[in-house]
Amino acid sequence: GESVGLHLPTLSVQEGDNSIINCAYSNSASDYFIWYKQESGKGPQFIIDIRSNMDKRQGQRVTVLLNKTVKHLSLQIAATQPGDSAVYFCAEIPSVGANNLFFGTGTRLTVIP
């Protein structure tokens, strides 16, 4: 079955530093990988996605890297701000045309002012 997991459950960074959140996956057939951010008391919010045929995708202050050789995904946040404090989930669409997401276990990012 699908397995999307994270290496670290918690991460603390100083404000202004860069953050890197990692995710491992096991399904080679996954079509898309997606990062969601969940702030306290709110639902998850889409941040950025990457298709399985890509290695890198950049957004505003965020970059997602995909290494299919080792089945590893990372989310890099530049110049981390207090508003970035949240739980971050990686998720996958398990195959081309699949109509559901499988979420990983989440990493809590705490930004220290």
| Chain residues that interact with other proteins, rule: CB under 8 A | 32, 34, 38, 41-46, 49, 87, 89, 91, 93, 98-103, 105-106
Which of 46, 79 has the CB closer to other proteins?
A: 46
Q: Please state the φ and ψ torsions of residue 107, each to the nearest 5 degrees.
A: -125, 130
Q: Report the sign of the C-alpha dihedral through residues 86, 19, 4, 91, in that order.
A: positive
CB neighbour list of residue 95: distance below 8 Å, 6 or more residues apart: 27, 29, 30, 31
Q: Which is nearer to other proteins, 72 or 94 (CB)?
A: 94
Residue number, 4 or 77, with CB nearest to other proteins = 4
Q: Minimum Å distance from CB 79 to other proteins?
A: 25
Minimum CB separation of residue 16 from other proteins in Å reads: 27
The nearest distance, CB 36 to other proteins, in angstroms, is 8
Measured from the CB atom, the residue of 12 and 14 that comes closer to other proteins is 12
Write phi, then psi, for 71 (nearest 5 degrees): 55, 60
